[in-house]
Amino acid sequence: MKTFEYTIKDEVGIHARPAGLLVKEAKGYTSTIKVAKGEKDADATRLMAVMSLGVKCGDTVVVSIEGEDEEQAAEGIRKFFEDNL
């Protein structure tokens, strides 16, 4: 299992557009990808679940990746967060 923390820099947090892009990116991997904020976590392939976390600018999320392609997925998802959030 791979995990990393990321502090959101996008001024409106994880809203509809980047959440949709995150779901699309996550669906490109076979690994299970979860995004957690505090006690709540969400499957990164489910748009409404990701948006229900209510992630705002300045919040830190923990991303966990587990599965066959976790190395590539961790690298790709980390780059996605850095480029988009």
At 26 the pLDDT is 97
At 57 the pLDDT is 95
Distance CA 8, CA 29 (A): 22
Backbone φ/ψ region at 23: left (φ over 0), alpha (ψ -120 to 50), beta:
alpha
At 68 the pLDDT is 95
At 8 the pLDDT is 95
Burial of 35 (0-12, 13-18, 19+ CB in 10 A): buried
The domain ranges of the chain are: 2-84
Confidence band, pLDDT 50/70/90 cuts, at residue 69:
very high
Confidence band, pLDDT 50/70/90 cuts, at residue 18:
very high
Position 4, amino acid: F
Give this prediction's pTM. 0.91
Residue of 2, 10, 15, 43 marked active site: 15
At 24 the pLDDT is 97
At 85 the pLDDT is 92
Classify 74 as helix, strand or coil.
Answer: helix
Active site residue 41: no
User: 2-84 maps to which CATH number?
Assistant: 3.30.1340.10
Q: What order of strands is seen across the sheet that includes strand 2-7?
A: 2-7, 60-66, 32-37, 40-43
Backbone φ and ψ of 81, nearest 5°: -60, -45
At 59 the pLDDT is 96
